[in-house]
Structure formats: structure tokens, C-alpha cells
Amino acid sequence: MPPESRDPAYLWDMLHAARDIRQFTADVSFEQYMKNKMMQLAIERQLEVIGEAARNVSEAFKKAHPEIPWKQIIGQRNILIHELRTIDHAVFHP
């Protein structure tokens, strides 16, 4: 089944946000990460982008790719957006 017309754009957003996270955190220890509020906010923002894009990917594409944890990605986005005080930064640092 061909993807919905917007799916490639959402997947592109997810890929580039993930690459940004990888670039931002390259060679950064957890201690450095925890001392850098700007980095924390940048990572959180990119995770929000990934989650929002995942939320908008078509159901057909999600069903065709069950190897991707769609519910968990979207759930993490919801936590970031709605429950900022419950963020466990250890989860976000590679």
C-alpha cells in the first residue's frame, strides 16, 4: 500500500530531529547534559517534533511498520507536552 502523501514529510521530520539529537549529544556525558539547560530543552523539543510527526503518520503506514514503537513515541510526546515536571532526563541521554 503506498504511503499517504504527507507520510514522507513526517518521516523526514522524525529522521532529522533524531539526527539533531545525536549531533547535540555526541561526546556529551550525562553530567554535562544535566548541567546544560539549553541542551535539555533542545533535546526535549526534538523529541516533541518526533512525537508530533509520529502522531500524524497515517494509520496505514503505522500498520505496515509495526517494528516501530509508535504508541511509545507518541506517549513520550504527550508526557513532554503535558507533564513537564515528570521528565526523567536519564531516559533522554544516550
Taking the domains of the chain in order of start, what are their residue ranges?
A: 7-92
Catalytic residue among 6, 19, 55, 77: 77
Model confidence band, residue 80 (pLDDT cutoffs 50, 70, 90): confident
Residue 1 has pLDDT above 60, yes or no: no
Residue 5, C-beta contacts closer than 8 angstroms, at least 6 positions apart: none
Tell me how crowded residue 73 is: count the other CB atoms within 10 A of its CB.
Answer: 18
93 labelled catalytic? no
C-alpha distances (whole Å) from 38 to each of 64, 84, 88 are 37, 15, 16
Catalytic residue among 82, 85, 89, 93: 82
- 42-79: per-residue pLDDT in tens? 999 999 999 999 999 999 999 999 999 999 999 989 88
77 labelled catalytic? yes
- 9-46: per-residue pLDDT in tens? 999 999 999 999 999 999 999 999 999 999 999 999 99
Residue 90 has pLDDT above 80, yes or no: no
Q: At CA 10, angle to CA 7 and CA 12, rounded to 5? A: 105
